[in-house]
Amino acid sequence: MGNLLNNGLTGIRAAQASLATASNNVANAATEGYSRQRVNLVENPAAPGRGGFTIGNGVGIASVERVYDNFLADSLQDVTMSEGRAQVMFSMSQRLDGLLGNPDLAVGDTIQRFFDQVEILATDTTSPVARQQLITEGETLVQRLRQIDTQLDSLSNEVDLRLRESVNTVNGLATDIAELNNRIAESGADAPANLLDQRELLLKRLGNEINFTAVRPNDGTVTVLVGSGQPLVLGSRASTLQLTSNEFDGLAAEVAFNDGATLQPISDKISGGQIAGLLEFREESLARTRNDIGLLALGVSESFNAQHREGMDLNGDLGEDFFATIAARSVASANNTGTGSVSATIADGAAVQPREYLLRFDGAAWQFFDASNGATLTPSGSGTVADPFVIDGVEITVAAGAAAGDKFVVQPVATATGEFNIALKDPAKIAAAGPIRAARSLANLSNSAVAQPAVNDVSDANLLQQVDIIFDDATTYRIFDSVGTDLTGPLAYTSGADITFNGWTTQVTGTPEPGDTFAVSTTGGNSGDNRNSIELTRVASNGYFGGGQVSLSNVAANMVSNVGSAAARSSRELSVQSTMREQVELEIESVSGVNLDEEAVNLLKFQEAYLAASRVISVSNQLFQSLLNSFG
């Protein structure tokens, strides 16, 4: 009867534990991070009986097990890190795409309106209204590019603010994980399941902020490593992350690991979570857009100025710069220890690329890298004033005094938009006319014609000198100045061939008679000539960058296209990562999730077991009472 009673009692205890566990599963079915639990039962050792056989001795509770798969948990953390990065890249890329795609800020349309006004000026070059409107459209173009630059600064500032929020979140989560580590370690092998669930939920949230490696020692704690292996959480001790200033831009925040004594920069080691997305957006998408729009500003300034200088204004003077000159920028690292310096100048605007260059002195020579991807670059030259380094149209000179490890960044166009401005304020100074013109003498005997001269070298000191092309006969000619001095001697003539002199080129066609004269002279002020304005209208569509293959219109369109492509790519990436995360969560749910139908069945099963065990005890009690009565 002892076995009978013990079996009933142990059965009741087992059924009670199973009922309590099943009911707890049901209660926490909707609790985030909860892992279902189950009671592991074992048969108690059998008791020896008479006759050499053994009789069962009831059931024991081996453990209450938390149903969990560490492999799936680590997989969820990995995809959460990737999704966190993709989520930020998507949201910020969409913002940037909306900025450049905003009709009110459309760069391409603004550039087109500016050149449309140049065309209007070409129809009446002496019109004060048309001239003033061109300056107004130029100011509108400057304002538009600067508005976009301001918006880019706002996005950059938002990145820094969100970095600060994420770093604070990481530090808070690290502290909480360390506290749970301590409580779990104190519990030994019987750590409460709720503490383990809370810690895994915190690890998942941490992965949404930053990528990490989780190491699980035998003491039940979790070590969290970030960056290149720095311990953010080690047992019950939590370290912190901290924002520091970028060595080349004091306004840009970088992430560093604070071990209590030193700050170790880890921005370039962060590859997952929202922090990675923010850093990647700033260093790639935002920096690329800033360089692209800077290149556009440089292209407009350089190409329009170059053509404008080849014209003549209403005062009869050669054209000045219409837009302000844009200069390259060099920045020294805040960590430099030497006294050396680097200066950069844009020598060939058409060869400039929308990127930045990292210069590093190794103690003996300067090394060049693409600042965005670290690719090694090889410039020409030696870096002296007489023989500067030359790369992508930028001349770079270095001054002595650099120490080994000193670094500089050269930015040809990153700050160009801020320098983009109108240099010409007087409408009369718009150089719409060609500076020189050619005319045939009314006394010429032949029907030979002369083309209007094209300017080859606007810097030629004699460009505006008045000269006469006079033919000796049908095969030779000479060029005389205004007082009749022969400046060239006899030159061979071929109909339609170039005649080049004083920085200009023209052509005479036909068969001249001896004495035929063609005068080349300054156009003069208030001429109504529109030859240079016609050339100015072609600046937007003429090839300028890429060896004459890429126009300003192409640059504007490519910039918007690149941003749109990046936004579309980030959308696809987020969709992929979200799908992967959902798939892993489904797998975890199938292992650790609570199935209410299953738990309902378990409750009925354990209820029956409880009632049956109770009946066993009742039977045992009745038998015992009968036995006692038999002795009464």
pLDDT of 192: 87
- Burial class of residue 400, CB neighbours in 10 A (0-12, 13-18, 19+): exposed
Segment 611-627, tens digit of pLDDT: 888 888 887 777 767 76
Q: Quick check: 92 and 152 in contact, CB under 8 A?
A: no
Q: Which pLDDT score is estimated for 532? A: 96
Cβ–Cβ < 8 Å for 565, 100 = no
What's the confidence (pLDDT) of residue 632?
56
Give me the pLDDT at residue 106, please. 75
Q: Are 178 and 237 in contact (CB under 8 A)?
A: yes
Strand-strand pairing, 449-450 and 436-440: unpaired
What is the spatial distance between Cα 155 and Cα 161, in angstroms, rounded to a whole number? 10
> What are all long-range contacts of 14-21, with beta carbons under 8 Å and residues at least 24 apart?
14/39, 14/41, 14/59, 14/60, 14/61, 14/609, 14/613, 15/606, 15/607, 15/609, 15/610, 15/613, 16/610, 17/61, 17/64, 18/602, 18/606, 18/609, 19/603, 19/606, 19/607, 19/610, 21/64
Q: What is the pLDDT of residue 105?
A: 67
> Can you list the alpha helix ranges (DSSP code H) found in 188-286?
193-209, 273-280
The first and second tokens of residue 408, run together, are 């500089």
**What residues does each domain of the chain span?**
2-67+593-630, 72-283+550-585, 327-412, 436-522
Number of residues that make up the chain = 632
pLDDT for the residue 183? 92
pLDDT at 631: 67
Q: Which uninterrupted H or E stretch holds 518? A: strand 517-522
Distance CA 137, CA 143 (A): 10
pLDDT score of 52: 63
The pLDDT score that the predictor gives to residue 619 is: 78
pLDDT of residue 68: 84
pLDDT of residue 59: 87
Q: Up-side HSE of residue 33: CA atoms within 13 Å toward CB?
A: 14
Residue 176: name the closest of 202, 211, 214, 208 by CA.
Answer: 202
Element (H, E) at 389: strand 389-391
Q: What is the mean pLDDT of each run of 10 residues along the chain (632 residues)?
A: 74 87 89 88 79 77 85 90 95 90 78 94 95 95 92 93 96 96 86 89 95 90 94 94 92 90 92 95 92 94 95 96 95 94 95 95 95 94 95 96 96 93 96 96 96 94 96 96 94 97 97 97 94 94 87 88 90 94 90 87 88 82 71 62
pLDDT (tens digit, 9 = 90+) per residue, 215-250? 988 888 999 999 999 999 999 999 999 999 999 988
**This prediction's pTM:** 0.86
DSSP code of residue 443: T
Kindly write down the DSSP assignment for every residue of 54-122, as one continuous string.
Answer: EE---EEEEEEEE---HHHHHHHHHHHHHHHHHHHHHHHHHHHHHHHH-GGG-HHHHHHHHHHHHHHHH
81 contacts: CB under 8 Å, gap ≥ 6: 207, 208, 210, 211, 212, 271, 272, 273, 276
Q: What's the pLDDT score for residue 580?
A: 93
Residue 622: predicted pLDDT: 76
CA dist 62 → 14, 18, 185 (Å): 10, 12, 21
What span, in angstroms and rounded, lies between the C-alpha atoms of 296 and 284? 18
Q: What's the pLDDT score for residue 387?
A: 96
pLDDT computed for residue 219 by the predictor: 86
Count of beta carbons in the 10 Å neighbourhood of residue 168:
14
